[in-house]
Structure formats: structure tokens, C-alpha cells
Amino acid sequence: MLPAGAAAAGAGLVAGVSGWIFRHGGTIVHADQHHDASAGAFFQRVEWGTASDDPMAEAAAFREYAEKDLGMVVRVAEAARRPRVAILVSQHAHACHELLLDWRQGELAADVVALISNHRTMEEAARHHGVPFHFLPVDPTRKHEVEERQLALLRERQVDLVVLARYMQILSADFLGRVGCPVINIHHSFLPAFAGARPYHQAHTRGVKLIGATAHYVTPVLDDGPIIHQEVRRVSHRDTVSDLLRKGRSLEKLALSEAVRLHLEHRVLVYENKTVVFD
């Protein structure tokens, strides 16, 4: 149960949002909310069908109302618009294959418009799925030039989301500051445990009984961005590093694919360095 003041504030926001939608002839399809008492923050996600001939004008009108009259921070998205996605991958292809298969099966509401890699491992698969493949090898002494080419390509393709499907390069703070869209990464450990390189080797050395994979938004601090989704699996003293690598690959595929789906369906709200994920 929420404190009386917090409950009243939350109820007022819910009533304000639903009332505006009703007055404009809309129909609420789904609604959910969350109150974080420790942060003093209220979160709400609403899907509604509109009767307007100009959904974007209605979205702008709602944003103005919610910001000015309700004091909310608002993001409005049109469900019919398919975000444009670019995938970056190196040699470990399992997570990338999973994303492409999900996309081809209609499970990701997006258009995959580019596959960028510093290896040619996924070139044939990209051609098979009808995705433009771009081979941009990384020279450690000229990494800035490669990132400039990547940024130019992402701008040209008008990308709304970048997915790192085991792209084994660290993106610079300059790249992240200029890319202009969210970047989602899959890290092969149950963060915050075993950040950085060779996490399965670290896990084996520590004798853990649980391994995991973490999909998160990328920030300039390595493996420290807001977490979207995690998958875990029990392991034992009998498992070798090779066993952990094999078992972990299935977790990585599931965690990344689910995180991308949640993001594309606008179910993730970021605040501070964590997320509210409405399922």
C-alpha cells in the first residue's frame, strides 16, 4: 500500500491521462503503472487506439498536456512505425543469428537495415536474410576513423536503435555521444558480477553455481548501463570453462532478443541508472 500522498498523486496522474484519452475519443488498450517510493517517482505506460486522422498531431497535443498540466516527462510513440535497427557483430554469431531469425519470423517490430561487422563471419547470413552487410575491419591504431565510418553509415540508414550482438569492441564515449539513438549490448555474465573480459573464465575461477547473461543499454562506463533483461542457468563444480561457454550462449541469445523486443515495444523506461520494464 502506498502512503496516502503518493497514492493520491498516482491516482491523479492516472485519472488525468485516461481522462484526456477519453475526451479525445481514444480507447485504452492496455495500461500499467509503478511507484518507486525510494526515488519518489511514478511511472506509467498506456497503449491507446486513436480516432484521429492525424496520430502525430494527437501525440503532440497529449505531450503538451501531460508536460504542462500534469508535470510529467513524456515519450509518445506510434505503434505502426517500425524502428530502423542496425546490428553490430564480430565473430561470435549466435546472438546475431537469433535476432535475424526472430525478425524474419515477425517477432521484432522493426526493420533491420544494416549489419556491420569487423569480420566477415555473418556476411553470407546477412545476404540470406536480405540485410545490407558492411565490413569495417578495426585497426586499433585507427579506431576513431572506423567509428566515423560507422556513424556516417548509421546516419545514412537513419537508424533508431543499435544492437551489439557480441560486438567485441568497446565503443568510445565520443561515438556514444554522437550516435543519436539507444545502443543495446549483450554481456555474457550476470551483471554486475564479472564485468569486462572473459567473464566465463572469471566465473569458473570463482566456482559460481549460477551463470547468466545481461542485456543493457550502453553507457561510457563499461558494462554499467541500465539493465533491460537477464537470463540465468544453474551450473556445478563439474562444468568446465567450455561447458560454461556453451551453456552461456543460449542465455545470451534469449536475453538479447527479449531486451530488443521490450525496447521496440516501448516497454522500457530508464531513470537514474536502472529501468522499469512493463511486461
Residue with grid cell 517510493, as numbered in its chain: 37
Q: In the chain, which residue ranges form alpha helices assigned H by DSSP?
A: 4-23, 55-68, 94-104, 123-129, 143-156, 173-178, 199-206, 241-264
List, for residues 200-247, the tens digit of each pLDDT value. 999 999 999 999 999 999 999 999 999 999 999 999 999 999 999 999
CB 175 within 8 A of CB 147: yes
List, for residues 51-87, the tens digit of each pLDDT value. 888 988 999 999 999 999 999 999 999 988 999 999 9
pLDDT of residue 58: 94
CB 153 within 8 A of CB 126: no
The grid cell for 39 is 526515488
Query: What pTM was estimated for this model as a whole?
Result: 0.92
Active site residue 223: yes
Domain 4-68 indexed as CATH 3.30.70: yes
Percentage of residues in the chain having pLDDT higher than 70? 96
* Sequence-ordered list of residues with C-beta below 8 angstroms from that of 71, at least 6 positions apart, any chain: none
Residue intervals of the chain classified under CATH 3.40.50.170 are: 84-277
CB 188 within 8 A of CB 252: yes
Q: What are the respective helix, strand and coil percentages of the chain, to the nearest 5?
A: 40, 25, 35
The backbone torsions φ and ψ at residue 232, rounded to the nearest 5 degrees and listed phi first, read: -135, 160
Measured from the Cβ of residue 15, the count of other Cβ atoms closer than 10 Å reads: 11
Query: What is the chain's alpha carbon radius of gyration, rounded to the nearest angstrom?
Result: 21
Domain 84-277 indexed as CATH 3.40.50.170: yes
Within 13 Å, how many C-alpha atoms sit on residue 137's CB side? 3
Q: Which of 53, 223, 239, 279 is catalytic?
A: 223
List, for residues 245-262, the tens digit of each pLDDT value. 999 999 999 999 999 999
pLDDT of residue 1: 32
Measured from the Cβ of residue 222, the count of other Cβ atoms closer than 10 Å reads: 14
Residue intervals of the chain classified under CATH 3.30.70 are: 4-68
